[in-house]
Amino acid sequence: MKNMNPITKELIAPCGMNCAVCSRYLAHINNLKRSQCPGCRPRNKTCFYLFAKCTGVNHRIKYRDAVFCFECDQFPCKQLKRMDDRYRKNYGMSEIDNLEYIRQHGIENFLEDQYQKHRCERCGGIISAHNGKCFQCDEVTRLIEKLESR
Ligand SMILES: [Zn+2]
């Protein structure tokens, strides 16, 4: 069943964010009428939240080539900690914890762990970390999207 995991390596941003559970990415792959994003790495633009103010190693190399923030000598920097605090408080997840997991157990184990954590029991889709909904099968969500798009 391992090859069914839709959470792939390129969906894990340098900051540790799992784009696969981001509501904007899920809107993108499920073609919902709302703010969409193909994921941080696939988008291949400078990270607005971190890299605009980044003075670490990621500042000097191309975003696409940046591997993970933990490779930076300033990890975890002020910007990353600020974002991490917000995510802990609002969404019960942590980019820094994600990065520590990747550092200790490797990316492949992280992808599998994330899939176990965020998989929808009903349809096998992915549940958003931002609103706790499965964008693939949640009828309530789909209905709201439809109404909003009118
Ligand atoms: Zn589902």
CA distance 32 to 61: 34
CA distance 28 to 21: 11
Cα of 115 vs centre of ligand 1, distance in Å, is: 13
* Confidence check: pLDDT of 115 > 70: yes
Q: What average pLDDT does the segment 82-95 reach?
A: 95
- Whole-model pTM: value is 0.83
Domain hosting 108: range is 11-148
User: According to the model, what pLDDT value does residue 58 have?
Assistant: 52
* 81, part of any domain: yes
* 6, part of any domain: no
For the chain, the domain total comes to: 1
Cα of 110 vs centre of ligand 1, distance in Å, is: 21
The tokens for 21 are: 């559970």
Cα of 4 vs centre of ligand 1, distance in Å, is: 15
User: According to the model, what pLDDT value does residue 2 have?
Assistant: 45
Asked which of 66-75, 105-114, 128-137 is least confident by mean pLDDT, the reply is: 66-75
Would you call 12 helix, strand, or coil by DSSP? strand
Q: What are phi and psi of 69, to 5 degrees?
A: -60, -25
* 4, part of any domain: no
